[in-house]
Each structure stands twice: as C-alpha cells, then as structure tokens.
Amino acid sequence: MRLNLVVEGQSEERFVKQVVAPYLSGRGVYAVARAVKTGRKRGRDVRGGLLKYVHLKNDLQTWMREQRAGNVRFSTMIDLYGLPNDFPGQPEAGRTADPYQRVALLEAALAADLDDERLIPYVQLHEFEALLLAGPQYFDGEFIDRKREIQALVAMAASVTSPELIDDGHATAPSKRIITEIPEYEGRKVSAAPVIASKIGLDTMRARCPHFATWLARLEALGTLGSA
C-alpha cells in the first residue's frame, strides 16, 4: 500500500520521511510526504504554510487525479493552531469546547468536502510541536546549553494529561511555549524537530497523544489492506 501525505510544512515533511515512513515501511505501507503547495514563483512550486484551505484542497485533488490506483491512500498532517477560517467545518468546530470533538468535526468535514474514500484526514492537536512535548527532555541533544529551560518544558508537559491539550493561544501554543524557553528553536525548527522526534520515538508519542495514536493506527492498518 502506498500512502501520500500533504503536510503543513518542512518540519512535518521531514518528520514523516525520517520517523513515520521508516516505521510504516516495516508494516507494508510506503509513505511519502510533501508540504502543501501554496503557489508558484519563478516557475517553481512554493510549498509550506497553510493560509487558505483552497491550497490544501487543490494539492490533494491534483495528487488524487494523478494516482488512481487501488493501492494508494492519502492523508494530511495540518495544525489546528492557525487553521484557515475557510476550512470546512470551521463554524461548527469553533463552537465546540472539547478539542478532540473539534478536530473530529474538522476531519469529517474535510473528508466530506474532498469526497474521496481513499483519504484519511488528520488535523494535529494543536500543533506539530505537541508531539515533541511528549518527551521534551530530548531537546537536550540539540540545545545543550538550555538544561534549565528544558526542565521547565518537562515540568510544563508533565502538568497536562496530554500535550495535545496544550492550547492554541498566540503565546501559549506548543511552539510558542518552546520558543519562550528556547528562542533559537524558531530558527532551527526544520532541522532540530525531526531529530528530537526520532529520539522521543513513536511509542512515547502514542502513549501521550491519543489523537495521534488513533491516526497512526489507521495508517498501520493500511498494510493489511495492501496484502489482502
């Protein structure tokens, strides 16, 4: 089974390629990822950053038309934080207090709008960095001079039931909390985040992040479809 993912940006793209894809390949699922196409400049595609829903929709539909084989599936990895206002299901989801119900509504609305049974929609609660806060102690390998600050992140992450519940405030979203403690993370995110994620490991992320765990289980299950 082949799995094509359209993701929010370069950090997510590298995370899929370096962490998720090797894991899935051992289960008969061969995953590739690309950041969402947002336009063209000087004859080249511009990718990364989801400012308008139409960019995600067009990118997915183009890929779906190009690959129609029965052993191909599609998925997304986009952040709830900063999700465009024109995203399907936004009005109803915005009135929902429970974050897990909120992303479920958005994912269902995305599936309905794309209307392709091969799509496995996924909206990340609340941001990709929530997965890194499943094991913030592993920041120490990339930011060796920030031991005190890393311990502050460890304490903060331990204070919540799941890092997926760390909110979408402009100053308190997962990435903002990391940058508050480790300002240089902002400039090194693309290179550092996949390394940290690899050290944390998918097992820890699944244990701490139930919505992510459900999505990963659905991706794993594709391997049994491919062998059927």
Is the confidence at residue 127, as pLDDT, over 50? yes
What pLDDT score does 139 carry? Answer: 98
**Residues 91 and 151 reside in one and the same domain:** no
CB count in 10 Å sphere of residue 153: 21
Confirm if 129 and 178 have CB atoms less than 8 A apart: yes
What pLDDT score does 226 carry? Answer: 57
The CA distance from 207 to 103, in Å, is 19
**Residues 110 and 194 reside in one and the same domain:** no
Domain count, the chain: 2
Percent of the chain topping pLDDT 90? 91
> What type of residue is 68?
R
**Residues 89 and 29 reside in one and the same domain:** yes
**Contact residues for 13 (Cβ-Cβ < 8 A; gap 6+):** 7, 33, 34, 35
What pLDDT score does 40 carry? Answer: 83
**Residues 119 and 14 reside in one and the same domain:** yes
Rounded mean pLDDT of the chain?
95
Helix, strand, coil content of the chain in percent (nearest 5): 55, 15, 30
What pLDDT score does 228 carry? Answer: 47
**Residues 91 and 184 reside in one and the same domain:** no
Pick the closest to residue 85 from 122, 54, 126 (CA basis).
Answer: 54
**Residues 213 and 114 reside in one and the same domain:** yes
**Residues 106 and 140 reside in one and the same domain:** no
**Residues 41 and 83 reside in one and the same domain:** yes
**Residues 45 and 89 reside in one and the same domain:** yes
39-53, 95-109, 156-170: least confident range: 39-53
Is the confidence at residue 227, as pLDDT, over 60? no
**Residues 185 and 95 reside in one and the same domain:** no
Is the confidence at residue 100, as pLDDT, over 80? yes
44 pLDDT tier (thresholds 50, 70, 90): confident
**Residues 69 and 149 reside in one and the same domain:** no
pTM: 0.94
Q: What is the pLDDT of residues 18-39, one digit of tens each?
A: 999 999 999 999 999 999 998 8
Domain span holding position 167: 129-205
The CA distance from 203 to 224, in Å, is 20
The CA distance from 161 to 145, in Å, is 28
**Residues 145 and 94 reside in one and the same domain:** no
Confirm if 7 and 13 have CB atoms less than 8 A apart: yes
